[in-house]
Amino acid sequence: MEKLSLSEAVECLCSNCEPVVETERISLWNASGRVLGENIISEMDQPPFPRSPLDGYALKSEDTTGALENQPVKLKVIDEIMAGYVGRHHVKNGEAVRIMTGAPIPPGVDCIIRQEDTDYGEKEVKIYKELKQYDNYCFKGEDFKNQQLLLKKGVILSAPEIGIIASCGKPDVLVYKKPAVALITTGDETMMPGPPLKPGKIYDSNMFTLGCRLKELGVLPQCIMHVDDHTDRMVCAIQEISNYTDLIITTGGVSVGKKDIMHEVFKQAGVKTLFWKVSVKPGTPTLCGKYNNTLIICLSGNPFAALTNMELLVKPVLSKMLLNRDLEPDRKTVPIDKGFEKGSRVTRYVRGYLNNGKVTIPTNKHSSGILSSMAGCNCLIEIPAGNYGVHKGDQVCVIPM
Ligand code: AMP
Ligand code: MG
């Protein structure tokens, strides 16, 4: 089978998955990061009434003509309105109403004077400044109007959008459902963290790295499990889990060793192979297939390879399934402040730290089996295929994580 380029592999995966178009109604509290499944049309004006933008006095602007610091106009204070309450009076010439920020502007007035331009009078107030009509006047519907389209279907909800939905009185929102995803790690050598290690064993880190990364990308896996290097058990797991998932991600068993069972698993389970091998390092032996409507992406077991290929291959698939453009590959070109002068026949990805428009390689531990040097890294640096790698000062492509 032909080795695919990264873009061919991504294209193949994306053409073998569908966006989840079903929707569900959820509380605003849970809506952060979700994709809006309806247009949000306001059914009210915001603010619902003209309101005062400051603490002061509501009055008729014509009553302030000629007012100066040393020649104040005196008005009778007939009422006091706090935010949350409604005034009792229609204001006439020669009158003013004490008013606080957010309170409804009473009928009859056309402006608000800030209290600093008055003597703060309680029964009678001295006005030290001339005002024009609608000075400090916050109109009804100034923020948004009844029947206004506030948010379009497909928007990714974050704090401001959720606040907008709340401000028009809706406690919940229709969002697209998430795909059902399963994560399966393989390997006779792995143990769950907790008990002391047995001879020949290592702790399963992929389950946590990839499980948590999926969560960060917005999908809490429906099923997370480990299966030993046992073909029959893995066949059963794939067949069973695919009944209720859109995507299965596995790690380990995709290379050419005696216990690299995933090829045989595909054969026995009847999984249609989409491709095996991608021209990237690490993670060349990635194997992908489709079983009924479930996409299966089998990553290398090497911890850095698994994580890298999650970013390169799984993330674009999630972007399509979740209808979330924020997950589309984000690439930046920045200068690198250190060389990586090791050539490779295929594109190589190394861990980096992107800061202030520059990228650095903060480690010399690059092997795909090494996870520890990933701590503190926030991007992958693309080292183009070729004999030379990259030199200090070169512009490189980085993929923020
Ligand atoms: P494999 O892809 O199964 O050949 O595994 C490649 C390397 O990754 C081996 O050294 C495995 O022991 C290691 N490995 C496989 N699965 C995991 C895992 N879940 N967590 C940590 N390391 C793993
Ligand atoms: Mg293995």
Per-position DSSP letters for 106-149, written without gaps between them: PTT--EEEEGGGB---SSEEEE-S---TTTT-B-TTSSB-TT-E
Over residues 282-331, the pLDDT tens digits come to 999 999 999 999 999 999 999 999 999 999 999 999 999 999 999 998 99
Pocket around ligand 1 at a 6 A CB cut-off: 185, 187, 189-190, 202, 204-207, 251-253, 255, 257, 300-303, 369
Q: In the numeric block, which tokens belong to residue 46?
A: 């915001």
Could you identify the atom of ligand 1 that is nearest to the CA of residue 189?
12
pLDDT, tens digit (0-9, with 9 covering 90-100), for 58-86: 999 999 999 999 999 999 999 999 999 99
- Whole-number pLDDT of residue 28: 98
**Six-digit token pair at 139?**
């109109």
CB 106 within 8 A of CB 79: yes
45: pLDDT strictly greater than 90: yes
Q: How far is the CA of 117 from the centre of ligand 2 (A)?
A: 77
Centroid of chain to Cα 254 = 31
Predicted local distance difference test score (pLDDT) of residue 329: 85
The two structure tokens encoding residue 198: 């047995």
| Non-local CB neighbours of 395 within 8 Å, separated by 6+ positions | 333, 334, 335, 336
Nearest CA to ligand 1 atom 7: 302
- Which residue in the block uniquely carries the two structure tokens 């008005």? 75
Reference 105, options 83, 121, 122, 132; nearest CA is 83
Do residues 394 and 381 lie in contact, with contact meaning Cβ atoms separated by under 8 Å? no
- Beta-bridge mates of residue 138: 51
Q: Is the pLDDT of residue 137 over 90?
A: yes
Question: What is the DSSP-derived secondary structure letter of residue 312?
Answer: I
Which protein residue's CA is at the shortest distance from atom 8 of ligand 1? 302
Give all domains of the chain, ordered by start, each with its CATH number.
6-20+178-327 (3.40.980.10), 23-46+156-176 (3.90.105.10), 56-127 (2.170.190.11), 332-400 (2.40.340.10)
Q: Which ligand is nearest to the CA of 229?
A: 2
| Ligand 1 pocket test, candidate residues 188, 198, 201, 206, most atoms within 8 A of CB | 206
Q: Please report, for residues 81, 109, 259, 336, 359, the alpha-carbon distance to residue 339 in angstroms, rounded to integers and kept in the order given.
A: 68, 70, 37, 7, 11
> What sign does the CA torsion over 320, 324, 325, 326 have?
negative
User: What angle is formed at CA 139 by the lines to CA 134 and CA 144, rounded to 5 degrees?
Assistant: 150
C-alpha angle 368/10/359, rounded to 5°? 50
**Ligand in closest contact with the CA of 206:** 1
Residue 21: how many other CB atoms lie within 10 Å: 9
Give the model's pLDDT for residue 1.
Answer: 73
The answer to whether the CB of 59 falls within 8 A of the CB of 87 is: no
Percent with pLDDT over 70 in the chain? 100
Q: What is the secondary structure of 259-280 as a DSSP string?
A: T-THHHHHHHHTPEEEEE-BSE
What atom in ligand 1 is closest to the CA of residue 285?
A: 2
pLDDT of the residue at 96: 98
The predicted structure's pLDDT at residue 2: 80
